[in-house]
Chain A
Amino acid sequence: DTGVSQNPRHKITKRGQNVTFRCDPISEHNRLYWYRQTLGQGPEFLTYFQNEAQLEKSRLLSDRFSAERPKGSFSTLEIQRTEQGDSAMYLCASSAISLPQPQHFGDGTRLSIL
């Protein structure tokens, strides 16, 4: 049973650098979601895709953030000109379209900005 896969698991970078994370969803899932989780908080929604279409973006997703899902399979989340406040765990989840569509999460990418 292959779950949601995310890489890298950890990323340490200097402020101002660009970073890119990858998410491979469960193969039969059409929907893919990105969340961000900071210490002591639950995950916060960033954006989601249905197949290759990005259907919703949170206000948390500033113009330095961009997500893509070419061909409706894996997805990438890029952060440009990273800031200290970007340090967090970035979680990817996927779900089927059929109800009730529980979301299954990967183990996340922990981003640390020096």
Chain B
Amino acid sequence: TQLLEQSPQFLSIQEGENLTVYCNSSSVFSSLQWYRQEPGEGPVLLVTVVTGGEVKKLKRLTFQFGDARKDSSLHITAAQPGDTGLYLCAGAPGNSGAGSYQLTFGKGTKLSVIP
């Protein structure tokens, strides 16, 4: 069974601060996806990373996939109240061959950005 651990579980920061969320596993993933989820809604895809060591930027969000494809991080610069939400990482099996199917999710990081 592949497990993903996210930390921290909760994070409350002031507007303008920087933060990093971590996603760790002992298993190798063929790809890893980050989602943001609002209460009562489904997860919305932010990014997919597939290559070990890959770094992707989405405006103020920077995503990194570990060299061994076992871990990932999400860094937010100058957080804004609109960044508030539940951030979920999800890994696709390392032996999928044909690509992602069964995603393994972490429990999420609940971020609150205070104006």
Q: Which residues of A contact B (CB under 8 A)?
A: 4, 6, 31, 33, 35, 40-45, 48, 55-56, 58, 91, 93, 95, 97-108, 110
Contact = CB atoms under 8 A, between A and B. Distances in A.
Interface string B83-115: 000001010100000111111111110000000
Interface residues of B, number: 26
Contact of B103 (A4, A98, A103, A108): A103
B80 interface: no
A56 B101 contact: yes
7 contacts: A6-B42, A33-B103, A42-B107, A42-B108, A45-B103, A102-B45, A103-B45
Interface stretch (B12-20, B33-41, B68-76): B33-41
B7 interface: no
Contacts of A98: 99
Given A42-B88, A108-B42, A97 B98 contact: yes
Chain A to chain B: the 7 pairs with minimum beta-carbon distance, closest first:
A42-B105, A105-B42, A101-B99, A102-B48, A107-B42, A45-B102, A99-B99
Nearest to B49: A100
B53 to A, nearest CB: 16
B43 interface: yes
Given A33-B103, A43-B88, A100-B100, 18 more contacts: A4-B42, A33-B101, A35-B103, A41-B107, A41-B108, A42-B88, A42-B106, A43-B43, A91-B43, A98-B99, A99-B98, A100-B31, A101-B92, A101-B100, A103-B45, A106-B42, A107-B40, A107-B41
Nearest to A91: B42
B50 interface: yes
A108 B1 CA distance: 25
A55 B99 CA distance: 14
A48 B92 CA distance: 13
B99 A97 contact: yes
B41 A100 contact: no
A92 to B, nearest CB: 8
Contacts of A4: 42
A112 to B, nearest CB: 13
